[in-house]
Amino acid sequence: MSEFEIIEKYFKNATGNTGVSVKVGIGDDAAVVTVPEGMQLVLSMDTLLSGVHFHSDTAAEDIGYKSLAVNLSDMAAMGAVPVWATMSMTLPDIDHVWLKDFMVGFNGLASEYKVDLIGGDLCRGPLSITIQVHGLLPCDTAILRNGARPGNLIYVTGNLGDAGLALKAMQGAASLSDHDQRYVINRLNRPTPRIHTGIALRGLASSAIDVSDGLLADIGHVLDLSYTGAVLYMEKLPMSDALCRLEQETAWELALTAGDDYELCFTITPEKKEEIENRLNAICPVTCIGKITEQAGIRCIGTGGALFKPAGTGYRHF
Amino acid sequence: MSEFEIIEKYFKNATGNTGVSVKVGIGDDAAVVTVPEGMQLVLSMDTLLSGVHFHSDTAAEDIGYKSLAVNLSDMAAMGAVPVWATMSMTLPDIDHVWLKDFMVGFNGLASEYKVDLIGGDLCRGPLSITIQVHGLLPCDTAILRNGARPGNLIYVTGNLGDAGLALKAMQGAASLSDHDQRYVINRLNRPTPRIHTGIALRGLASSAIDVSDGLLADIGHVLDLSYTGAVLYMEKLPMSDALCRLEQETAWELALTAGDDYELCFTITPEKKEEIENRLNAICPVTCIGKITEQAGIRCIGTGGALFKPAGTGYRHF
């Protein structure tokens, strides 16, 4: 089967949502799309590499889902609506069952958010998937990392640390009940991109970032770009039952430093607290975990006001 | 050095052309750009993998150049003006000399065409570069693959087969003079994206494609999508002196089936012959090599009207 037959069979018209905005999709030298007037284009590209971003025995369906989800998460952090995706796959060989399963995972999520696969590339080599997602938002409404101000409240969506616990369990460094194991591995492989939350935060949040490398590392980017610091209250960290069953400091460590959560971390002015909580909790749980300070650095406050010092700092790519 | 320090040092503000259209570049969850009114967005993504798309001892500067060039070539084939690039790099380790050299090659070409690097990803693994280029063109002026009609003349830019000869020489299957060897290897590593030609072809060409997998394979896509066939005249194939010094049939074989030329192949109605040749030869040489036929398939006419049957069919990705 040639590259072109594979593309025809598995990728072309994969998602079936192709709207009028796609003038040329898969099958020409390049794709051609129309960006509606008054909208800006938002671009995010992420690579998932076997053995680095997912375990080599991860199910193809989960890889397909997650490859798209991590990019959608970046759209969420900007407040953008994802619209089109391009994908370059490097495959060790053509395994039709694997490809079909991969696309089940990809398409499931793509359909949910009406994202069209409009182009890409395919070549032979070590398993790796690079996806770029293209989103839209009304001009000048992007939520950036540099807008956090002293006194702002810091929120996160969902729970933190589940994916980190899954990795720990897979490495044999944590022993979980079957139920907890299934729950955290699903959280690792199937993160929920917080698209609707991101959209709802437009005009409300002063900054936002998605938590992919660990809360401390990612909030660190917001603080660096905003020239501020933060205080975080450990007892406020939203954690699943699975995490709460661990020793407290282990759970805090995971919630602060483990990667792959793909939750949103955002800041708001205190006056917006009630509005945010009312509006957002209807979409997904949000929790206030601390506040932005003038003083640089991040202080983590544990039980009884004592400083908590995590051992790790977050996922390092190199 | 962290991923973020590397990005800051080598990639951020790399090209320095950032225009007002880039609202958010490298350093946030995603990039944000504005597509001017009346323009469509053109997207092309290509991966170059060490050992597959380039020899593992290729100079970093050449890899940087070519990674961008192959995507610009796709823009050219659509008639688009390239504007923004995103890049995901997978690197075995952080080699500062390699990274600096890579970016010299990338930036040289990016500056020439005023392409801004606005985002991407970086991770550790087997050397691989995925670039997406984003171009612009006035609405509904894209030159597609499906517009070739019987009677149309078929043209190519530049010369064909040089990159194929370079690969042959590198494999020891061709013995060239030092001068020819340098020339063809430069053609392999530094293909010229035919951007200006592509732009000039808007409204004139009935179809266009870039020759990346070999002329026969690529023209085959045009014919398939246009429901037509073609006749090609071997003695018209534009070939460099290096190719002309080979045995004639070897040279024709390379010109027809070797990949990596990154020349444009386009079709026009015969009435436009003079206009095209006058207008285009000022930009880069173009040669009429055949015509589109109602009869399906490709017939290659050699010396004295005899059919020439090449042994190969073009580069297969799988």
This prediction's pTM: 0.94
**Which of chain A's residues have a Cβ under 8 Å away from the Cβ of B125?**
49, 51-52, 126, 128
Are A109 and A163 in the same domain?
A: no
Pair of tokens at residue A80: 């953008």
pLDDT band at A19; cut points 50, 70, 90: low
Same domain as B159, residue B301: yes
Between A314 and B222, whose confidence is greater? B222
Assess whether pLDDT exceeds 60 at residue A207.
yes
Query: Given this model, what pLDDT does residue A200 score?
Result: 97
Q: Is B109 helix (H, G, I), strand (E, B) or coil?
A: helix
User: What pLDDT, on the 0 to 100 scale, is given for residue A317?
Assistant: 59
Q: Using CA coordinates, name the residue in chain B closest to A29.
A: B74
Q: In three state form, how does the secondary structure of B32-53 look?
A: EECCCCCEEEEEEEEEEEECCC
B282 inside domain: yes
B13 has a pLDDT exceeding 70: no
Contact yes or no for B318 and A1 at CB 8 A: yes
Do residues A17 and A130 both lie within one domain?
yes
Looking at per-residue confidence, does A115 or B1 come out higher? A115
pLDDT tens sequence across A67-91: 999 999 999 999 999 999 999 999 9
User: Looking at residue B184, which CATH number applies to its domain?
Assistant: 3.90.650.10
What is the total count of domains within chain A?
2
In a domain, B213, yes or no: yes
Mean pLDDT value across residues A1-11: 84
CATH for B58: 3.30.1330.10
Distances (CA, A) of B271 to A308, B196, B275, B279: 79, 22, 8, 14
| Domain boundaries, position A129 | 3-138
Q: Which of A41, A49, A75 sits opposite B125 (nearest CB)?
A: A49
| SS3 assignment, position B107 | helix
User: Final residue of a domain: which of B83, B110, B138?
Assistant: B138
What are the pLDDT digits (tens) for B237-287? 999 999 999 999 999 999 999 999 999 999 999 999 999 999 998 999 999
Question: Is B119 in Cβ contact with A43 (below 8 Å)?
Answer: yes
Q: For residues A10 and A129, state if they share a domain.
A: yes
Q: Which residues of A touch B221 (CB under 8 A)?
A: 4
Instruction: Give the pLDDT confidence of B156-185 residue by residue, as tens digits.
Output: 999 999 999 999 999 999 999 999 999 999
Chain A residues within 8 A of B72 when measuring between CB atoms: none
- Test A1 with B33 for CB contact under 8 angstroms: no
Whether A83 is in a domain gets the answer: yes
3-state secondary structure of A29: coil
Ramachandran category for residue B204: left, alpha or beta (phi over 0 → left; psi -120 to 50 → alpha): alpha
Contacting A residues, span 64-83, partner chain B, CB-CB under 8 Å: 74-75, 77-78, 80
| Cβ contacts of A24 on chain B, cutoff 8 Å | 142, 144
The first and second tokens of residue B214, run together, are 């070999």
Let me know if residue B66 belongs to a domain: yes
Among the listed residues B184, B191, B160, the one whose alpha carbon sits nearest the alpha carbon of residue B70: B191
| Domain contains A39 | yes
Are B81 and B197 in a shared domain? no
**Cα–Cα dist B287/B249, whole Å:** 19
B84: which chain A residues are within 8 Å (Cβ-Cβ)? 43
Backbone angles phi, psi at B145, to 5 degrees: -85, -15
Band of residue B66 on the pLDDT scale cut at 50, 70, 90: very high
| Residue A207 lies inside a defined structural domain of this protein | yes
Q: How far is CA A112 from CA A101, A109, A152, B249, in A?
A: 17, 5, 33, 54
Which domain-ending residue is among B105, B138, B171?
Answer: B138
Flag whether residue A117 sits within 8 Å of chain B, measured between CB atoms: no
